[in-house]
A and B are shown apart, each in its own frame.
Chain A
């Protein structure tokens, strides 16, 4: 079964109506156009950073770093989805922070149900999300946090943000086979963790 288009549920930021024009102006040095793009995609970037880092402050730092990198690199933007380009930059900025923190790859994040960390209120961020989906997202986020860091990173980049294996390998500086294995093991582990909430997937 192919993944559902996230835009169809209204949970992900859709491209700007005149995005090609705004991007072209930003490339030409129009700072207000660049600001418009960053404002539009900041939630997308922050969501990725938060899922990779598991910490609100670090996620904000990574997103801020990504904006600076984007500003420096926007002249090199060669078309395609601007959202995907920004997410790649954010993933790299987040991974830089992970590397600096030198966490062990098998580390899991604090369990939010034990009060060590807080999940964002996923239902409240988007009024379109119905209660049942909000509950599903909540359990998904908790399960993701229980994956070892190497698996979580790979699954988030591939399955949550749609990067292909090669992009994940490049972002995490890992071998292609290693990335595939992490993704596959991560999916299987998530299935185990979410077994008791299986009914939420079928609504």
Chain B
């Protein structure tokens, strides 16, 4: 009995034989053993019955209704060309253009005039300081902190060099064209500094010009984006 047990093939070999695995069925010694050994033959027979029953296991009804057909997928969108990509930028560009128009229009009307007076008053004060005359009351009245802050828009070195002390006198913040013009026209120039004088006199104009340029840019951007929007059609799909 012991001898017979020791000579049994491994059960996995019997399982291979039951499954008609060629490596097992081609093994003549294995087949001979199974034919002669009741125990091993019983294992192989059981496993064959088992396989037969497993192969019968029925199909099962799904636990819930299934979607038999996938929905029609939208065709992949073709990659947008250069115009298509530009068209996608048209709405942000239109918004930017509108903003520039607003800023430009606002700046080139009310604000620039104030700016001009502020700058003019400031420069007259500068001139007065340079002349050493302390009686430039109008210039001092215009040299408010706002004017000081706007100096940069004048875009010249003379404005930038205006001394902070100029804001120490006069009513702050009241800038009128009437006040501006005589002061501006009377603004003395530094002796031997013609270039500086020229800068001072052209400053309000260049400030207004800058706003107009902004306005123009806005118009160009808005019109361009509108044209792009309505002339380039998006691709189908």
Is A63 an interface residue when CB atoms closer than 8 A count as contact? yes
Considering the chains assembled together, what is the distance between the CA atoms of A64 and B52 in angstroms? 29
Q: Is B50's CB under 8 angstroms from A194's CB?
A: yes
Q: Is B69's CB under 8 angstroms from A35's CB?
A: yes
Q: Contacting A47 at CB < 8 Å: which of B19, B20, B57, B66? A: B57
Q: Is B63's CB under 8 angstroms from A57's CB?
A: yes
Considering the chains assembled together, what is the distance between the CA atoms of A50 and B57 in angstroms? 12
Considering the chains assembled together, what is the distance between the CA atoms of A59 and B64 in angstroms? 10
Considering the chains assembled together, what is the distance between the CA atoms of A71 and B68 in angstroms? 10
B31 to chain A, nearest CB (A): 15
Interface on chain A toward B: helix, strand, loop, or mixed SS? Answer: helix
Is A129 an interface residue when CB atoms closer than 8 A count as contact? yes
Closest residue to B58 on the A side, CB-wise?
A11
Please give, as numbers and ranges, the residues of chain B lying within 8 Å of A194 by CB-CB distance. Answer: 50
Is B18 an interface residue when CB atoms closer than 8 A count as contact? yes
Is B110 an interface residue when CB atoms closer than 8 A count as contact? no
Q: Is A188's CB under 8 angstroms from B11's CB?
A: yes
Q: How large is the interface on A (under 10, 10 to 19, 20 to 34, 35 or more residues)?
A: 35 or more
Please give, as numbers and ranges, the residues of chain B lying within 8 Å of A81 by CB-CB distance. Answer: none
Closest residue to B44 on the A side, CB-wise?
A1
Please give, as numbers and ranges, the residues of chain B lying within 8 Å of A51 by CB-CB distance. Answer: 57
Please give, as numbers and ranges, the residues of chain B lying within 8 Å of A4 by CB-CB distance. Answer: 52, 55-56
Q: Is B46's CB under 8 angstroms from A31's CB?
A: no
Binary contact track A172-193/B, C-beta < 8 Å → 1, others 0: 0000000011011101101100
Considering the chains assembled together, what is the distance between the CA atoms of A137 and B55 in angstroms? 10
Please give, as numbers and ranges, the residues of chain B lying within 8 Å of A2 by CB-CB distance. Answer: 20, 52
Please give, as numbers and ranges, the residues of chain B lying within 8 Å of A31 by CB-CB distance. Answer: 69
Please give, as numbers and ranges, the residues of chain B lying within 8 Å of A35 by CB-CB distance. Answer: 68-69
Q: Is A12's CB under 8 angstroms from B66's CB?
A: no
Q: Is B70's CB under 8 angstroms from A187's CB?
A: no
Closest residue to A156 on the B side, CB-wise?
B54
Q: Contacting A201 at CB < 8 Å: which of B53, B60, B64? A: B53
Is A167 an interface residue when CB atoms closer than 8 A count as contact? no
Residues of A at the B interface (CB closer than 8 Å) are 1-4, 6, 9, 11-13, 31, 34-35, 38-39, 42-44, 46-47, 50-51, 56-57, 59-60, 63-64, 67-68, 71, 120, 122, 125-126, 129, 133, 136-137, 140-141, 155, 158-160, 162, 165, 180-181, 183-185, 187-188, 190-191, 194, 198, 201-202
